Structure formats: structure tokens, C-alpha cells
Amino acid sequence: MDPSPSLGVLLDHARDKIILLDERGRVTYANGAVEDILGASPEAFEGEDVFDYIHPDDIDAVRAAFEETIRSETFVETTIEYRCRAADGSWVHLESRMSNLTDDELDGYVVSSRDITDRVAAQREHEAVTRRLRELSATTGDVLWMFDGDWSELLFVNPSYEDVYGQSAETLEADPQRFLDTIHPDDRATVEEAMAYLSAGNSADMEYRVNPNKDYRTWVWVQAEPIVEGGEVVRITGFTRDITDRHRRERQLYVLDNLLRHNLRNDINTISGNAELIEEEAPEVADRAAVIRRTGEELLRSAEKDRDIIELLIGATGPERVDVVAAIETAAETVRDRGLVADIDISTPETADALALPELRLAVVELLENAILHSDADTPLVSVTVELDAERVAILVDDDAPPVPEMEEAVLAGHHNMDGLYHSTGLGLWLVYWVVELSDGRIEVTRRGGGNRIRVDLARPPE
């Protein structure tokens, strides 16, 4: 018996597929949504055995759930997912709710079903992506992680988490806020601020100390990005890298820098001062004293370059937009202020922006000084030219000096490592190499006429 006319109209307007089943599982009524979901008219299902439409792999579970529901002596409501055959032979994933509640107006048990095919497909795709991500992330020592937008749910973390943070992934999954327990007490407030910043839709880049099992001696570098959908932060993803060794090396470099800047400077000043006294008071050895004094001055200059290199290696944050023309002009002025006599010819456009470290000026200073100091001319000639094309900015430094030694050329090209038997003559060209290398640039050395040409190529920033 069909439902009353008024109730039937109401059921036909429902978006879910609604059918009535007798105790044997035969359809006594189907609403209009059946056609939308399965592609056949409601009348085609009446009198049919519903289990004939269920996928063979799912039929036992569905039949058991139906029979257990209708035979229960107390009220039972059951939800089950399964595959149902559509009119075109395809399989539609349904989520059905049924109960043992009956009514005088209803000829059977009500089964309400909705099409969840898209949801199942999305879930399977998510599971496949997660599985591949886990496989890939298992091979890296970095921690890869993903939370929901308010940090209340952990969506993904790879096995490296426990090694770096000293906390199990299970603990983090059960309560994501336990993550804060792994952070040094002095760093927690900063990390919490960064978490709020990310939840507000901003990127974050930070370093802090973690792992109470190691007395918080593990330093990590974290980069994180919010995932925004429809103007709302729905996920936050990022990676964590253990930088303890790098941090330790930086501290060691700071110690060496302090040694060079203070102890060595004071000692060399003492040597140079006494050498000057010997020149004045003992003319017969003045030449040798002058050698001692000049050598001390060279050591001081090397110490200054060493300090520049240490600050560069520790503080470099990556290439940024730099006005190459301004860097060249400042470098030329620095060389002149140091008392070096030379004819420096500069030919550049008004401006020329490139992607480089802000320390590009230091590299140009070294190239100019190297050209001037190695020239045999009374007044060395050095020209600096800037050339532009659609993608690159080129700095050309031409001099009238003898050929650059092979070992020095190898330093500039990045093909040479210092060792005890074979080394370059100073730190200046290493400074040039590191500035250009960290700027993602290239250096080329060629012989041109009666001198050298050093070409530095840098990328142009996007418009």
C-alpha cells in the first residue's frame, strides 16, 4: 500500500532516495529521487527485491544490518554504506539510514539513502595522496606536517616528528596542543604568536628550540603556509628541519670572528707599532721592519674580510631586489676612500635591478681592489659596465692587470677547494664567489686584450 497522497507528495520532493521495504526486502514504494540517483522510474522498483541491486561484495553486510534492525525488540536506527547498481549498470555509492519504526500510514520499513559517490571518490583520492605522501616523507629527515585551520586537528605528520621533537605522533594526533610541550619554555610565546599569525592567513618562517628529552638543545627551522579556500584558512601545512649542526657552526664562527676582531687585531697592532719603532730607531734594519709592518697590515685587512665573510655566511637570507648601479657606485667610492689610486670608468644605465644579496657591494669592492692592486701601471685603468637583457643583468669588470692566476680563476668559478698544499692567495675572491653564489649568479673570467674581464651574471627580478 502506498503512503497517503499528501505524504507521497512530500516524499517525492525529498532529495534523498526513500523506499519502503517489507520484511523480505521487497520494495513497496519508491520516491521520485530514485530516478535522479539510479536512473530508473520509481515504478520500476516496486515489487523488486532490493538486495538484487546491491553489489555482491556488500550484500551480506547490508542484509545482516537490515535483518538485525527489523528484528530488534527495541527501537534501532542503523546507518550503512554500500554500492547499488544503477539503470546503466554503473555502481552508485549510497549511505542508507533505516530503523524498525513502523507507522499505520507506511507499508513497510523506511530506508532513506543519499548518493555519496563523490564523497567516496574524494576520500579514496585523499587516501591515495596521503599514502604516497607518507611513502615519500618516510625517506626524509625533515618533519612534514599539516593541521586544520585552528590547530585543533592533526591531518598529517611523517615519522621524523618523533626524532626531532621527542614526542610520539600518536600523542600529537590525540591532542595537537601537546605540540607546545615540545618547545623550549622561552620560545613558546613566539611560536603561539606564529600559530595565530598562520591561522589569520599569513606565512611564517621561524627558528626555535625543541625536544625536552634532549634538554631543548635541538634547534629547528620551520616554514609554514596557510591553505585558504573561500576566504577561510582550512589547513596549515609546513616543514620542520633540524638545524642544530648549523646553529652550532654559527656559534663557532661567532667565536672565531670575535677572536679575529679583538685578540688578533690587538696583537697585530702591537707588532705593527713595534715595527714602526724599529724603522725609526734602527735604520740599518728598517727595510725588514717595513716588511713586518706591511705584513701586519695585510693580516688586518684579511681579518676584516674574514669578518665580512662570516657575517655573509651567517646572515644571508637569500637574493632580493638590488640596484646594481647603486652598488657599483658605492663600491667605487669605497675604493677611493681607501686611498687606492686608479682610473675607474663606470658605464651603466640610470638603474638596473637584479636579484642578489644586499652584500653585492662588497663583491664589487673586491673585484675593483683586486684589479688595481695587481696592475703594473702607475695609474691602473679599471672599467665597470652593466649590460641588460630580458632575463639577466651582467656586471663586466675590465682591467689592465696580468692574467688572473689559474687558482684564483678556479675560486671565482667555484671549481677550487682550499687544502694544505694548494690554496689561493687571499680571502677577497672567496668573498666575491660566495656573494655571487648565494645570489644564484654566475662568474666568468676571460683574457681580453691586455687585461682581464670578469663577468658577473645575475637574474632580473620579476616585474
Q: Tens-digit pLDDT profile for the chain (463 aa)?
A: 455 444 444 344 446 888 999 999 999 999 988 999 999 999 999 999 999 999 999 999 999 999 999 998 888 899 999 999 999 999 999 999 998 887 656 668 999 999 999 999 888 887 777 777 666 666 678 998 999 999 999 988 888 999 999 999 999 999 999 999 999 999 999 999 999 999 999 999 999 999 999 999 999 999 999 999 999 999 999 999 999 988 887 776 666 666 666 667 777 788 888 888 888 888 888 888 888 888 877 777 766 766 666 666 666 667 899 999 999 999 999 999 988 889 999 999 999 999 999 889 989 998 999 899 889 899 999 999 999 998 999 999 999 999 888 888 887 877 665 554 444 456 678 888 888 988 999 999 998 778 999 999 999 998 7
- Which residues are bridge partners to 444 per DSSP? 455
Grid cell 579556500 is found at 229
> 3-state DSSP call for residue 133?
helix
**Rounded distance between C-alpha atoms, residue 38 and residue 255, angstroms:** 75
318 within 8 A of 370, measured Cβ to Cβ? no
Distances from the Cα of 423 to the Cα of 301, 406, 443, angstroms:
18, 11, 19
**Rounded distance between C-alpha atoms, residue 371 and residue 365, angstroms:** 10
CA atoms within 13 A on the CB side of 364: 31
Quick one: cell of 59? Answer: 550484500
The DSSP call for residue 24 is T
Quick one: cell of 455? Answer: 663577468
| Burial class (CB within 10 angstroms; exposed 0-12, middle 13-18, buried 19+) of 224 | buried
For the chain, helix (H) and strand (E) counts, in that order, are 15, 17
188 within 8 A of 176, measured Cβ to Cβ? no
Confidence (pLDDT) at 379: 93
**Rounded distance between C-alpha atoms, residue 141 and residue 135, angstroms:** 13
Confidence (pLDDT) at 10: 39
Residue 433: alpha-carbon gap to chain centroid: 25
**Rounded distance between C-alpha atoms, residue 343 and residue 381, angstroms:** 5
**Rounded distance between C-alpha atoms, residue 362 and residue 328, angstroms:** 9
Determine what percent of the chain falls in helix, strand and coil, rounding each to the nearest 5: 45, 25, 30
> 3-state DSSP call for residue 37?
helix
Confidence (pLDDT) at 423: 45
409 within 8 A of 285, measured Cβ to Cβ? no
CA atoms within 13 A on the CB side of 419: 5
Distances from the Cα of 23 to the Cα of 107, 133, 338, angstroms:
10, 47, 101
412 within 8 A of 443, measured Cβ to Cβ? yes
Q: How many CB atoms lie within 10 A of CB 399?
A: 25
Residue 310 has phi, psi (to 5 degrees) of -60, -45
**Rounded distance between C-alpha atoms, residue 363 and residue 343, angstroms:** 19
Distances from the Cα of 26 to the Cα of 107, 136, 147, 298, 300, angstroms:
11, 50, 47, 100, 98
Sequence-ordered alpha helix ranges (H) in 148-221: 160-165, 169-174, 188-199
Distances from the Cα of 358 to the Cα of 326, 329, 387, angstroms:
11, 14, 20
Sequence-ordered alpha helix ranges (H) in 282-427: 286-315, 324-337, 360-373, 406-413
Q: Which of 344, 361, 332 is nearest to 400 (CA)?
A: 344
| Burial class (CB within 10 angstroms; exposed 0-12, middle 13-18, buried 19+) of 84 | buried
Confidence (pLDDT) at 426: 60
Quick one: cell of 199? Answer: 591561522
The DSSP call for residue 153 is S
